[in-house]
Amino acid sequence: MRRAVALLAAVFLLAGAPGCGGDGAEPGVPRGATSAAPEAATLVLDFIPNAVHSGIYSALARGYYREDGVDLKVQPPGESTDAPKLLGAGRVEFAILDIHDLGIARERGIDLVGVAPIVSRPLAAVIARGDGPVRRPRDLQGHRVGVSGLPSDEAVVDSEVEADSGDPAEVERVTIGFTAVPSLAAGKVDAATGFWNAEGVALRQQGVPIRLFKVDRFGAPPYPELVLTTSRETLEDDPDLVEAVVRATRRGYLFAVVNPDQALDDLLTADSSLDRADQEAQLSALLPILRPYPFDQAVLDEWAEWDLEHGLLEKPLDVEQAFHQVG
């Protein structure tokens, strides 16, 4: 299996090698080698650095961005950071966005474009206590389910219960903010929405028995939860920059898949405040979906329909305008 992954990585690296993007570089010569200095750009993360960003930090640590002619600054979001607005205003060139936030931003008139998936599947799930009464999604009827208050949580609950032949209206929803882990650990709720790679992993590490109901197994298409995003202006004015960042990011994630221990080292070197055991457990859970494949147009179409059906979007999304295939 490890050999197969390594061979896959080699294929992707060859497919995305510098010199193939029509940027004027000679074959085999990194994009940056044709210019006096790398081009500066900023990438805003969707959350504080964690295992899902491992490929980005590996690409930084191993010089992949600089080899492609980019001096990339990666920054976590601040309390007041609104990444879609920063992108739309041209204050940053790239951001990692939740795919739903990308769709919502476009509805609000911010012309953003997804250029590469970071993960190949949804991270959203309903997490139930393993020693509780909820054994399948339709068992959520009549039980307390913690939700953060975000519309996407409501969509996840509705989708899962409906897909399991239940009635979402019969679910008792309790707004708990982002306290799924302590709320479930203390038995304050029978289930809660959360990310299976974060809250799900944390609960298991604490010894709390859980049952995971991933949303793409109950009603939702296998959409990419996190997306590398830029603005239409950046894409049109500097396509070489966009291609270079996508190419280097893919290299970073391919490296992380083949060399998870070294990728973990790269992440922890970038942020020493992270707990190694926590991040190792998260990265192990994520490895099967850290795949830098191009977007699947059919899946994106299904995702847009799912978001519309569940009220996350108010009108049909022009998927071809919202996403751009790079490489």
Whether 213 and 97 share a structural domain: no
Whether 230 and 111 share a structural domain: yes
Whether 288 and 259 share a structural domain: yes
pLDDT reported for residue 79: 74
Interior CA angle at 95 toward 91 and 96, to 5°? 165
Does some domain include residue 327?
Answer: no
Residue that finishes a domain, picked among 199, 217, 235: 217
CA distance 70 to 72: 6
Checking phi first, is residue 86 left (phi over 0); if not, alpha (psi -120 to 50) or beta? alpha
Q: What are the pLDDT tens digits along the chain (327 aa)?
A: 333 333 334 333 333 333 333 333 333 334 444 455 999 999 999 999 999 999 999 999 999 999 999 999 999 998 767 999 999 999 999 999 999 999 999 999 999 999 999 999 999 999 999 999 999 999 999 999 999 999 999 999 999 999 999 999 999 999 999 999 999 999 999 999 999 999 999 999 999 999 999 999 999 999 999 999 999 999 999 999 999 999 999 999 999 999 999 999 999 999 999 999 999 999 999 999 998 789 999 999 999 999 999 999 999 999 999 999 997
Residue that finishes a domain, picked among 192, 217, 242: 217
pLDDT reported for residue 257: 97
pLDDT reported for residue 275: 96
Domain count for the chain: 2
Whether 113 and 139 share a structural domain: no
CA distance 278 to 202: 7
pLDDT reported for residue 291: 80
Whether 57 and 146 share a structural domain: no
pLDDT reported for residue 293: 85
Q: Please report, for the domain that includes residue 169, its CATH number.
A: 3.40.190.10
Whether 308 and 244 share a structural domain: yes
User: pTM higher than 0.95 for the full model?
Assistant: no
Helix (H, G, I), strand (E, B) or coil at 95: strand
Residue that finishes a domain, picked among 166, 183, 217: 217
Domain with 199 in it: 124-217
